[in-house]
Amino acid sequence: AQSVAQPEDQVNVAEGNPLTVKCTYSVSGNPYLFWYVQYPNRGLQFLLKYITGDNLVKGSYGFEAEFNKSQTSFHLKKPSALVSDSALYFCAVRVPTNTGGFKTIFGAGTRLFVKA
Amino acid sequence: DGGITQSPKYLFRKEGQNVTLSCEQNLNHDAMYWYRQDPGQGLRLIYYSQIVNDFQKGDIAEGYSVSREKKESFPLTVTSAQKNPTAFYLCASSILSGVTYEQYFGPGTRLTVT
């Protein structure tokens, strides 16, 4: 079965320190991977995506993610965390459906707390 | 949340009543989606539509219905057949249904059924 796993329910980091939010995937074929962020009582916002090419993808708000095919991972990173980065982060993979379209499978989410 | 509106933000209903959640987008996107979000479970796909007058069931379509009469609109009806309707509902759209396209989300509707 195709799936996305976020092994950490919560990540705590001090402001100014680097942060990593982990994601692993299991898909058949090429993976098309995404990261989204959700602030309280809001919809999700797109951060970045990996489709092909360079394994290091840069996105919004200083975030980046590293695609590792051998480890089937797509970890989200930021060199220096801000308190305002505190939010719920979702990893997602886009897969074909049996009706000719595509759907997105989301991980369960990781809550990031950045302490001042 | 730009370009996608969902109304109302909070909705309260009595058990046994059908309720319709609104989703409108002005992004000229072809594909639209409905998700349900429950704590600790991420987002689960209810229905999606790739084109006007066509829609497909997602992973948890039972107890829900949709229509796509206009490109801009994709309302979701939560029927009395849905066993556990209390949740946060998110509507999304993308340029096309293709694999490379990210989704744009509305602000969500929190439905409480008592």
DSSP character string of B10-26: EEEE-TT--EEEEEEE-
Separation CA A14–CA A81 (nearest Å) = 7
Query: Residues with Cβ < 8 Å from A70, sequence gap 6 or more?
Result: none
Tell me whether residue A5 is exposed, middle or buried, using C-beta atoms within 10 angstroms of its C-beta: 0 to 12, 13 to 18, 19 or more: middle
Per-residue pLDDT tens over the stretch B57-75? 999 999 999 999 999 999 9
Task: Give contacts of B 32-51 with A, CB under 8 A.
Answer: 33, 35, 40-45, 48, 50
Q: What are the strands, taking DSSP E only, across A8-55?
A: 10-14, 19-21, 24-26, 32-38, 44-50
Which residues in chain B are contacts of A9 at CB distance < 8 A?
A: 40
Which residues in chain B are closer than 8 Å to A93, comparing Cβ atoms? Answer: none
Share of chain B above pLDDT 90, in %: 79
A74 membership: H or E segment, kind and range? strand A73-78
In sequence order, the β-bridge partners of residue A14 are A115
**Does B107 contact A43 at a Cβ distance shorter than 8 Å?**
yes
Q: Do B97 and A109 touch (CB under 8 A)?
A: no
A-facing residues of B in 7-26 (CB < 8 A) are none
pLDDT bucket at B33, cuts 50 / 70 / 90: very high
In which band, very low, low, confident or very high, does the pLDDT at B2 lie, cut at 50, 70 and 90? low
- pLDDT at residue B96, rounded to an integer: 79
**Both tokens assigned to A17:** 């320190």
Q: How confident is the model at residue A99 (pLDDT cuts 50, 70, 90)?
A: confident
Examine the pLDDT at B98 and tell me if it is beyond 80.
Answer: no
**Mutate: best of B7, B27, B94, B103, partner A, most A CBs <10 A:** B103
Contact A51/B100, CB-based, under 8 Å? yes
Q: If we measure between CA atoms, which residue out of A93, A103, A90, A46 comes closest to residue A67?
A: A93
**Yes or no, beta carbons of B42 and A46 under 8 Å apart:** no
More confident residue, A97 or B12: B12
Instruction: Please give the mean pLDDT across all residues of chain B.
Output: 92
Lowest mean pLDDT, pick from A7-11, B46-50, B80-84? B80-84
CB pairs under 8 A between A and B: 66
Which residues lie across from A19 on neighbouring strands?
A78
> Could you tell me if B103 and B16 are in contact, meaning their C-beta atoms sit under 8 angstroms apart?
no
- Model confidence band, residue B77 (pLDDT cutoffs 50, 70, 90): very high
Measured distance CA(A1)–CA(B5) in Å, rounded: 33
| Ramachandran assignment for A59, one of left (phi > 0), alpha (psi -120 to 50 degrees), beta (any other) | beta
Mutate to test the interface with A, among B44, B102, B105 (most CBs of A within 10 A): B102
* The pLDDT value given to residue B97: 65
Give tens-digit pLDDT for A39-86: 987 889 999 999 988 999 999 999 999 999 999 999 999 999 999 999
Give the pLDDT of residue A42. 84
